[in-house]
Copies of this chain bind each other. A is one copy, B any other.
């Protein structure tokens, strides 16, 4: 007689991949939003509609280095008959717009981004002028620090300009009161550019989830140390921490925990303070030393906090044994993955990554999938009633080829794969050339 199932669903009920995933996604809720400094909000999801407080640009300004002029003064100007204007001063970017006034017959030297001074109606680029040097068209201005006298004197303009030429109008980018970004926008560099441009130093977003990753198993030794008889290196905590980061989380790697229920329980308890999600590997199967199961499945006791973790068998290969539930006073979600490296990695991709992205409030929580033509030397077999995920390499030509075998301990093959071939539950054999579903691990 096996251990009694703590839930009506029963320990022997076989869950489908979709049922398990659905249960996780129905349970895990996006994190509460917080106000973050703009650089810290990169990759996060905005939870507010951001309105524009002040028009962009905030004032009419020059799009060129040149001279601010009145249209009538340069009408008909040509190289043969240039318009000669008095230069009344410089307008640099950052200068107030009302420091200068351009009257009839006058011009102000103006820099890109500087406000159009009162009286001026257009900008003529410096290349259309003699730059005040009286020696024909120039290709630029001399640095003010080297030639301050060029901010005065005369300038010859060789071409006419229409009203508003080379002037960027106030509000031509966005207007005060416009909606800059919608709630739900993911903040990449261009969105951060816009938020900064409209003066937002902080924004309200869902933060990156903090994910604590721990592997369990008395056989585990940290890489770099000496391997004793019967021992292997801990790879899961390294791989899944990296994968959690890759998914957008702030990930904390806890070293391997030995197969002792009390130690595991207290380690998890210690970690809860920095966890929005806990991921364990190993100890979830039917063995006598499956400590994660032992430590977490006895729920409903009055002295236990959290909603409890349910251990299931999934109709899936690799990754049959899985645990999911919550722990601690804040009901922190916990996913207990199997311990074989390939099983834990595939389980991460299928269940933990979507959970992390749900915590972030992202809409798009799944890896992209595509269909491809199977390239293989012989037919692939798959156990009936299980959804199988085979490590594979996907070619740009729309083909996919399995790497290594189905064994869930084959880490080397995993490291050379970039995709997973999905073999549905009702398919027991796939011939070369078959059209298959592929998860792109990109």
Tell me the smallest distance from the CB of A257 to a CB of chain B, in Å.
12
Q: Mark A59-98, 1 if CB is under 8 A from B, else 0.
A: 1000101000000000000000000000000101111111
Interface of A (DSSP majority class): loop
Which residues in chain A, 230-254, are within 8 Å of chain B measured between CB atoms?
230-236, 238-243, 245-246, 253
Of all chain B residues, which has the CB nearest A138?
B2
Indicate which residue in B151, B287, B294 contacts A111 across the interface (CB closer than 8 Å): B287
Residues of B within 8 A of A143 (CB): 3, 261, 288-291, 293-294
- Contact for A233 among B197, B218, B233, CB less than 8 A: B197
Contacts of A285 in B (CB 8 A): 65, 112, 140
Is A323 located at the chain interface by the 8 A CB criterion?
no
Pair A219/B173 contact, Cβ less than 8 Å: no
CB atoms of A239 and B196 under 8 A apart: yes
Q: How many copies of this chain are found per oligomer?
A: 2
| Beta-carbon contacts under 8 Å, A379-410 to B | 407-410
- List CB contacts (< 8 Å) of A154-181 with chain B: 168, 172-174, 178, 180-181
The answer to whether A57 has its CB under 8 Å from any CB of chain B is yes
Which chain B residue shows the least CB distance to A342? B193
Chain B residues contacting A21 (CB-CB under 8 Å) are: none
**Complex partner residue of A172 from B12, B293, B407, CB under 8 angstroms:** B407
Bound Cα distance from A150 to B2, whole angstroms: 12
Interface-located stretch among A199-207, A327-335, A355-363, A429-437: A199-207
Can you offer 17 A-B residue contacts whose CB atoms are under 8 A? A11-B140, A38-B238, A39-B242, A42-B242, A58-B227, A58-B231, A92-B219, A94-B217, A94-B218, A96-B229, A112-B285, A113-B232, A139-B286, A143-B290, A144-B288, A199-B224, A199-B233
Question: Which residues of A approach B to under 8 Å, CB–CB?
Answer: 1-3, 11-12, 38-39, 42, 54, 56-59, 63, 65, 90, 92-98, 109, 111-115, 126-127, 131, 133, 135, 138-147, 150-151, 168, 172-174, 178, 180-181, 188-202, 217-225, 227-236, 238-243, 245-246, 253, 259, 261, 285-291, 293-294, 339-341, 345, 407-415, 417, 441
